[in-house]
Amino acid sequence: MSDYQVFLNGEFVPEDEAKISVFDHGFLYGDGCFEGIRAYEGNVFKLDEHLDRFYTSAKALDLTPPYEQAEMKDLVLEACRVNELEDAYIRPIYSRGVGDLGLDPRKCDEVTTVIIAREFPRLYGPELYEEGLSIATVSTRRNPPECLSPNIKSMNYLNNILGKIEANQLGVDEGLMLDTKGFVSEATADNFFIVDDGEVVTPPYHNSLRGITRQSAMDVAEREGLPVTEKPITQFDVYAADEAFMTGTAAEIAPIVEVDGREIGDGNPGEITKQLMDAFEKVTRTEGTPIYPKETVEA
Ligand code: PXG
């Protein structure tokens, strides 16, 4: 076992001592929220954007965080420092806390706070970033906002996990989820884009998670002079597209070359996709909140 230090309820403890009660409602009911954040070469990428979403998820769950957002920002950076990380995957979690066996959140006195920071490679194998992924539409539909908003990044991922299980059973690299109306929503842990006649298109975010990498990819595309549109897309639009890719903190930008047995474009990662992958990589290496401010390094 590695010896990462995990922040748990006010202190950093060795990871094998970072234990949660079986009566924690995060465990019993998936009642809580989390973020997945990355650091590149000593800088945490889009930290404020991730923390804004984290605190909005908590608010939507009517969960009062024990730390102000600015304190949480310091703790995330500290979690990287105590683990001496430059490149990291960081996961802050707030769960409802320890209660009894009833689901009423009023039974829980204290929100559980966890921050895990560790090294973590890109979500898919390196060859898939060269050759592109084969994906398939799964039958599990993405939770509609009228039942459970996909924009709450909650500790209950069963909707996406059922989609991922189907994708695994189909023997493809990832599952594409539709919304309840049959429009494309997103992949199980990534947002979805197509490129059509030079235009970069992604579905509106109401039926999917408003991904931070999704926004970065849109910003990068605009800076590269490409038209970017948010509009509903169908499976037909996907099959007819010139290119397709996915975006996510864990996956970064990942090219897609096959959907439901249909080749996308010529079956190779598209030129615009590759351009965006390169431009995104540059952005991740030049922006971000420093983990080790200069004064500390020089002192
Ligand atoms: N959709 C869903 C459902 C997600 O969970 C994204 C899109 C992409 O969002 P960001 O903001 O990351 O660009 C996500 C993010 C994991 C893991 O452990 C999952 C995510 C992020 C980090 C790690 O599989 N999902």
Active site (annotated) includes residue 153? yes
State the average pLDDT over residues 138-149: 96
Q: Give the active site residue among 153, 164, 274, 282.
A: 153
Pairing of strands 43-44, 37-40: antiparallel
Residue 67 is assigned to a structural domain of this protein: yes
pLDDT by residue (tens digit) across 232-250? 999 999 999 999 999 999 9
Q: Rounded CA gap, 235 and 244, in Å?
A: 12
* Average pLDDT of the segment spanning 102-107: 95
For ligand 1, the distance from its centroid to the CA atom of residue 125, given in whole angstroms, is: 17
Q: How confident is the model at residue 125 (pLDDT cuts 50, 70, 90)?
A: confident
Q: Which domain holds residue 142?
A: 126-285
CATH number of domain containing 216: 3.20.10.10
Number of domains in the chain: 2
- What is the CA(190)–ligand 1 centre distance, in A? 5
pLDDT band at 63 (very low <50, low <70, confident <90, very high): very high
Single out the residue of 165, 195, 212 nearest to residue 257, CA to CA: 195
Tell me, yes or no, whether 293 lies in a domain: no
Residue 295 lies in a domain: no
Strands 133-137 and 252-259: parallel
The reply to whether 74 and 161 lie within a common domain is: no
Q: Report CA torsion sign: 285, 286, 292, 295.
A: positive
Eight-state DSSP code of residue 2 = -
Q: Would residue 297 count as lying in a domain?
A: no
Is 272 in a helix, a strand, or coil?
Answer: helix
Percent of the chain, pLDDT > 70?
A: 98
pLDDT digits (tens, 9 = 90+) for 245-291: 999 999 999 999 999 999 999 999 999 999 999 999 999 999 999 99
Q: Over the stretch 202-243, which tens digit does the pLDDT of each residue have?
A: 999 999 999 999 999 999 999 999 999 999 999 999 999 999
Answer with the one of 101, 118, 135 that is the final residue of a domain. 118
Which residues sit opposite 18 in a β-bridge? none
In this structure, are 89 and 173 located in the same domain?
A: no
User: Distance from CA of residue 286 to its chain's centroid?
Assistant: 20
User: Burial code of 130-146, b = ≥16 C-beta within 10 A, e = fewer?
Assistant: eebbbbbbbebbbbebe
Which residue owns the Cα nearest ligand 1 atom 3? 189
Residue whose tokens read 């999704």 = 214
- The pTM score is 0.95
- Residues 112, 133: one domain? no
Q: What's residue 295's pLDDT?
A: 63
Structure confidence at residue 124 as a pLDDT band (50, 70, 90): confident
From CA 201, how far away is CA 222, in angstroms rounded?
12
pLDDT at 297: 57
In a domain, 292, yes or no: no
Chain centre distance of CA 123: 10
Q: Which atom in ligand 1 lies closest to the alpha carbon of residue 188?
A: 3
User: Strand pairing partners for 186?
Assistant: 177
Backbone angles phi, psi at 73, to 5 degrees: -60, -45
Burial label for 212, CB within 10 Å (0-12, 13-18, 19+), is: buried
